[in-house]
Structure 1
């Protein structure tokens, strides 16, 4: 009998404790913030959001995720489980716009790296690989290539699917970028080998939209491996901005604590190393590639603190370097987050490492063509009574430009 009484008391205690928490939590109203302009062009931040964490004063869980826009604050954890599972952001993304315009075509299509769009068509390329692995390491297994092409004028869809044989240890295949070249959809994919290490292998797949002929072109990168040996790790990254369908793709390959860069001519299928003669240190600072330029971000360094940064561009055509932006007032000593949208650089600093030099949750937008600061904004609490405390409890660490 005593045993059951103890159990009953524990159950009642748990129910009361949990119920009390939810009653208190339901009464808590996290503060509202807005991204407020300090100076500059407000149009540069329309349709974007700053993502961060609000350090709740009362909740036992302490941290609430937050999206801050120019209008208000969105707390995803406050929403229903269904809304959270949909991961809806508070601004329209390119994916949202496609869904609105081409709802039927967009069913099940989520990877923005797999899209190509022009005035006549919207195309989507996807690859999946069988999860089964044979005990025979020399065996091959199937990967499926699926292509959907929407003719916007006729509103009809062309479907192309085929199986491609891949190595037995390939566990994932990711589509990275798609370009249209002479009625061929040219796709960059990464094949990830995971048998004994982690090796990412880039390949190009060409699909003729007229004849449906498919060509698979492994990229022979000098010094790079295509199979995972014991303890090997090779990471490949496409530096081009997502949805930038240029005919020059820039790859960075990291292996054995060394990094190399390659220029891939999409039209010709030619791969050439980028040496950056006299600027070898820039290799570790590749920020983004857009159009015919590669951008590098260098933080200033000194024995006391790091204040300021420099942006250097490299022109793939002229082979010339140019310091296009040099700032000595914005602190990058602890943590900054940057995002890149065509010719604009978005920078925000966050305070979670005790960064006392950064001005608090400030957003800066620089024009990389003119080198000018075109916008400065701050996340401001609209609750006047607790404004200082609320702003001190908000830590922003991500810029959502709504591109994908």
Structure 2
């Protein structure tokens, strides 16, 4: 096995750009991050492959900016697997594709049962791709050769995979669907920050009382601040379960906090003053969080619909089997035919005039693609009309 070389100097980077520009066809690209180890989601290794050029492994922090890579590739297609995971970190260093082919998304549209890269490579090329280093700490330097070989293979086969999937899309007459999906993924707006990110604490649902939630909030912010400062994944400092243990125990003194055996983590005792200050802020603040955040426009969980709005409940229960039938006919997952959240929105807040055109307009305004509106609007409208005429919904099928 030939040793893989990491490019980490300006001169090597410039030489690699000339080689990439001299290649032909689509360009495969991937990133390796240090999720679970570092706070940031930045790329630590960027892998590129192009036919006629070969594989290039870039030390992303050492190179810094990759804007010139865009010019070397021009308007040619970029091939990624699960592009939505990599695009943010690529754009952070100046890499911004013009045209995209997402092999994971293509696999979903083709109805493949397993869409991880290893499974898709094996299905399309008959090659077994070991994935044992996917959760490694890619901020490690120097990177071990087995890790580099793993990273190289992630892109070295990707263009061949793309070609096979493209042919299958043609055979299933799904090329237009795929192009709309790829374009939507490429131009998707970043998700806005959560208003209360501390509410994502694992186990927070078991916490009762607004004062307890105030302590949870302050502990979360204290940990997040330390994680930023040290570029360490928050859970490696103090796990979620440890913070929730403190919240439930509500210790009255710093000594009591230190005495909690379940309060673990590498920073649980070295940063004890930090955690105790957070507990004190939560115990004394006048800024008490709501136990549940309310929003008049929020669509409630479907389990509450029968009591809160039986007509909406009937619409949803009529429409879901209709969408499932369309998904079955197209040979793809229901969620790729139409996001369940979009169906819930239009069922909870239907247009004044229930017809295919009005449903399609509502779906389009909420982010559905043109092909999705064409495939589903008529069936949704008919389901809503049936629900209004018949009244109580029929039982849903197992699908």
TM-score w.r.t. structure 2 length? 0.23
More strand by share: 1
TM-score w.r.t. structure 1 length? 0.23
